[in-house]
A and B are shown apart, each in its own frame.
Chain A
Amino acid sequence: MFTPIMFASILPEILILTLAVILLCVEPFWKEDQRRNAGWLTSGGLFLIIIVSLLFGQPGEPTSVFGNMIRFDWLGFFFKILFMFAAAVTALFLMDHEKAGQRGEAYLLLLASLLGMNLMAVSADLIMLYLAIETASIPLYILAGFLLADDRSTEAGFKYLLFGTVTSTVMLYGFSLIFGFAGTTNIYLLSNLFASGQISVALAFSIFALVLVGIGFKIAIVPFQFWAPDVYQGSPTPVAGFLSTASKAAGFAVIVRFFFVAFPDYAPSWTVILAALSAITMTVGNLLAMSQTNIKRLLAYSSIAHAGYALIGVVAFSQLGAASVVFYLAAYIATNLLAFGVVMAFSRVTGLEDITDYAGMSRRSPWLGLMMLAAFLSLAGMPPFGGFVAKVFVFAAGVQAGYTWLIIVGILNSILGVYYYLNTMKYIYLYRMPNEDEENHPIPLTRPYAIALVVLVLGVILVGTVFAPWFSWSNAAALNLF
């Protein structure tokens, strides 16, 4: 029985798969110098899929379909839109990557990973969830190590693979314990079992801890963050951007659904654990970011810190908390993609990645400088950019839940953040290039970059000023959890 609602629930995935097949069939017939057009195809196709999904794939009342494998609700839907947006932008960034852009496999792997992430956001069953996580991860292992001639990239790929498989195995062990003791793999049935006392508290917490290892790796929280800086630095920059945004958001989608739905009765205890992790993650991320000299590593540590901020919303364990996490991720995806996009555009032309190399950038390319300013101020949590509103919502949720101490840690951390973000802006705006004549050479932007960056800047500003629609969608997503 294949009902219309089942069709609607996986409409985006069907279309993504179709797009991937089209790409696979068309790409071999293109000549070497035309292959980058695969990026136009992927990105254009994904934007089209977003529009089609918004028109025809909107969920109504939350329902479980495909034998309770998939939950069709706003939470999953909103996350899917975010992932597809991130992938579409990443495809644009990939196009003019010198070594990866001409190869169709890169786009295909991106789509495969996206498919996995979409399913992560909607999985209502542990088996489905595990399959989705692996589908999302394996293409990313390959993409991280995509530049075979580059040792750093190979190292990044291997490191990511090793950490990824180990942590996902640990998580799988947690899943198997659940099935062994509870006899079900359905997330929505678990809460009753935990509540009925059939599963002991100790066991429930072991399961929680094992699952947290796997997801903690995905979202790069301390102490599972070691891979992030090396992998971001080594992998092709567009892939690093995708890893730090969509992949992280997918992890949060799982956290929110799995923990909120399966463990509501133990919430007072596990929120304390997550609160501690959140505080440590923010602090470690920000402190280590301060001493970085490579811009990609700086962004890696800053993205670790941002996972900590977003966790505050999870810790709050309330409808506002969940909504603020979703909102935070929406703002963060646009912001961080923007930052990585500027880094990518800059290093593509200059081949440089150190923060000191950015000296005089605003004189060379005022617009690129302004875009970096928007991205970094948004990361620092300054209005009128998305980061400010997102941070205020997360903090508001934390205060509501009574976690005032965590909010104080959060604000202390955002002060550290302001320090190093502004320090980077100092290079871009204040310092001159060693050879001042070079300042007359602007950094050319190719068309895909120009489009992607403009879309992202508008996104960051729109999320930060006209925040009502985004918040009501986030709120609709959060409503599905309670």
Chain B
Amino acid sequence: MNFPILSVITFLPFAAAIIMLMMPANRKTEVRGVALATAALDLLLAGWVYLQYLLGHLTGYQFIETYNWLPALGISLKFGVDGMSAPLVLLTGIVMFTGVLISWGDFDEERHLSAGIQDRPREFFAFLFLLAGGVFGVFVSLDLFMLFFFYEIAVFPMYLLISIWGWVKTREYAAMKLTLYLFIGSVVALVGALVMYWTQYQNTGILSFDMIQMESAGFSASFQYIWFLPVFLGFAVLGGIWPFHNWSPDGHVAAPTAVSMFHAGVLMKLGAFAALRVGIMLLPEGAKQWAWLIMIFAGVAVVYGAFIAFVQTDLKYMIGFSSVSHMGLVVLGVSTLNHDGLVGAGVQMFSHGVMTALFFAITGMIYDRSHTRQIPELGGMMKALPFAGFGFIIGGLVSMGMPGFSGFVAEFPIFMGVWGRQWLVAVIASISIIITATYIMIAIRRVFFGPMPEKLEGHISPITALDKIAIFTLCSCMVLIGIFPAVMVPMVETGVENILRLLGGA
């Protein structure tokens, strides 16, 4: 048997979390060291999987591992990645690694600087890694029961991470709201999954949660019509789909920097990915019937999110609503159910994850130094924090969908796909590009250029080398994909082929 690389990627964070909890509370530096080492190792492994898949020109599910967990009910620990999930595994590795770098912390009383996590870092990293392990688990699970198992693991640490280390003003409210939204979504989807499980048993006599098996369960069209919406929307809540997006910006704002990065960068992809894998791939007929509704929801999210982001004055709220808008594009791409739209959605998941993680990281750095996130109260950061400024501008260009960056590679096919389905939606949704460009440019001008307000003068200390590594890592991903789309697009296409096969070549 080959080296069980996907299990190692998934369970490494759990092991690290336990090790960290065993360490004495006052050994903060050692705890951070363990966290960084684990994150780096996980990133390397995830990168290795990605490269193997890409360079080997692999297709279909690869690196499959199967362990019978409860044969009596057909539950198995079945891991594997395809062209859709391999980029997301890599994305999780990147966000985890940069998230640890950002949270390392830099404390200096004289300069009023308290960056990163100073209070109980042991618990913080342990919970963060539980979250990361859950996320890896969802992306690689090919068993529906295990997918739920990891999905729930990825939800509850958010509550603790936000409510303990979050922004004092809104953290309790936001954390509870987020947890309840996500939990409701996931249990609704769970009921759908159980119904699918038993219907499969009735149809085929096979008792199994294996999702590849379930693809040929022969669900009737009326069954799919009824259960598609609960399953798809139940998961899509975590993807921030309109009108169930409300928890998301509040959660972003209240969360500490690394958790915002995880939340917007990875967790929202978790929802979109699970909705795709369980909703669309297992209930393709239902997807075809309801695609119009999903398209409307997504279209509204794209435009509405952009408009709301436009009027925000709080930098984090602005990015939070722009996430709703960009995740709307992902769902819009998915709802087209055609080749272009799905490929765009796949790339957009990765691109948006990296971009938004970068935005939140830089916003966190600015907030730690200036103690404000209000755009009008900021200014002249380019001189004080040039590296962060360049990072933010690159992120902004990606966000606007500028050619040469990953955002273009993702958004262009999405609009192509939507045009192929319903040109009117494409036209309306494209308004968001203009709005996005406007608010991003305004934010860049206000925050990074112009004169620095007097009270900030002298308070802005430079960012650390670790912060620079994080920014560089994130930026290079976006530029690389923008210049060489071949490092990702062909891979996503193999995943899309599989989905189209299930949809019957529609």
Which A residues are closer than 8 A to B by beta carbons?
Answer: 320, 362-363, 366, 370, 373, 377, 380, 382-384, 388, 392-393, 395-396, 399-400, 404, 407-408, 411, 414-415, 418-419, 422-423, 425-426, 429-430, 467-468, 471-472, 475
Contacts and interface: CB of A to CB of B under 8 A. Distances in A.
A399 B198 contact: yes
A472 B69 CA distance: 11
Contacts of B184: 415
Contacts of A422: 159, 176, 179
Interface in B172-196: 172, 176, 179-180, 183-184, 187-188, 190-191, 194-195
A415 B180 contact: yes
Contacts of A395: 190-191, 194
Given A384-B153, A411-B187, A414-B187, A392 B164 contact: no
Contacts of A392: 145, 148, 190, 194
B191 A404 contact: yes
Given A392-B190, A395-B190, A430-B163, 18 more contacts: A382-B153, A382-B155, A382-B156, A388-B149, A396-B198, A399-B191, A399-B198, A404-B195, A411-B187, A411-B188, A411-B190, A415-B184, A422-B179, A426-B172, A429-B164, A471-B70, A472-B72, A475-B72
A375 to B, nearest CB: 14
Interface string B245-286: 000000000000000000000000000000000000000000
Contacts of B49: none
B160 interface: yes
A266 to B, nearest CB: 24
A331 to B, nearest CB: 14
B164 A399 contact: no
Nearest to A380: B156
A85 to B, nearest CB: 22
A472 B184 CA distance: 30
B21 interface: yes
A326 to B, nearest CB: 13
Contacts of A370: 21
Contacts of B145: 392
Nearest to B154: A383
B159 A400 contact: no
Contact of A415 (B25, B160, B164, B183): B183
A425 B176 contact: no
Interface of B: 21, 25, 69-73, 120, 123, 145, 148-150, 152-153, 155-156, 159-160, 163-164, 172, 176, 179-180, 183-184, 187-188, 190-191, 194-195, 197-198
12 contacts: A383-B153, A392-B190, A399-B197, A408-B191, A411-B190, A415-B180, A418-B179, A419-B176, A419-B180, A425-B159, A430-B172, A468-B71
Contact of A468 (B69, B153, B163, B164): B69
A295 B226 CA distance: 42
What are the 4 A-B residue pairs with the smallest beta carbon separation, nearest first? Answer: A411-B187, A399-B194, A468-B70, A383-B149
A358 to B, nearest CB: 14
A430 B70 CA distance: 38
A426 B163 contact: yes
A383 B71 CA distance: 20
A471 B73 contact: yes
Contacts of A468: 69-72
Contacts of B164: 429-430
Given A362-B123, A430-B172, A418 B153 contact: no
A404 B194 CA distance: 10
Contacts of B197: 396, 399
A429 B197 CA distance: 38
Contacts of A384: 149, 153
Contact of B70 (A400, A429, A467): A467
Nearest to B145: A392
A396 B194 contact: yes
Contacts of A471: 70, 72-73
A442 to B, nearest CB: 11
A475 B433 CA distance: 57
A471 B179 CA distance: 29
Nearest to A407: B191
A430 to B, nearest CB: 5
A430 B168 CA distance: 10
A201 to B, nearest CB: 31
A362 B195 CA distance: 40
Nearest to A469: B70
A356 to B, nearest CB: 15
A129 to B, nearest CB: 30
A241 B188 CA distance: 32
Contacts of B155: 382
B72 A377 contact: no
A305 to B, nearest CB: 15
A366 B120 CA distance: 10
Contacts of B152: 382-383, 388
Contacts of A388: 149, 152
Nearest to A377: B156
Nearest to A464: B149
A362 B172 CA distance: 17
B191 A411 contact: yes
B160 A429 contact: yes
A388 B25 CA distance: 30
A392 B120 CA distance: 34
Contacts of B194: 392, 395-396, 399, 407
A363 B70 CA distance: 39
B66 to A, nearest CB: 14
A87 to B, nearest CB: 29
A415 B149 contact: no
A308 B148 CA distance: 23
Nearest to A471: B70
Nearest to B196: A399
Contacts of B176: 419, 422-423
Contacts of B156: 377, 380, 382
Contacts of A408: 191
A392 B190 CA distance: 9
Which of B21, B160, B176 has most A Cβ within 10 Å? B160
A311 to B, nearest CB: 18
Contacts of B183: 414-415, 418
A377 B415 CA distance: 43
Contacts of B159: 422, 425
A415 B187 contact: yes
A400 B180 contact: no
A369 to B, nearest CB: 9
B195 A399 contact: yes
Which of A363, A392, A393 has most B Cβ within 10 Å? A392
A123 to B, nearest CB: 28
Contacts of B195: 399, 404
B198 A400 contact: yes
A407 B71 CA distance: 24
Contacts of B25: 366
Contacts of A382: 152-153, 155-156
A426 B176 CA distance: 10
B189 to A, nearest CB: 10
B389 to A, nearest CB: 35
A306 B236 CA distance: 29
A468 B69 CA distance: 6
A373 B25 CA distance: 18
B381 to A, nearest CB: 32
A84 to B, nearest CB: 25
A426 B163 CA distance: 8
Contacts of A362: 123
A180 to B, nearest CB: 43
A425 B54 CA distance: 44
Contacts of B21: 370
A451 B188 CA distance: 39
Given A388-B152, A471-B72, A425 B160 contact: yes
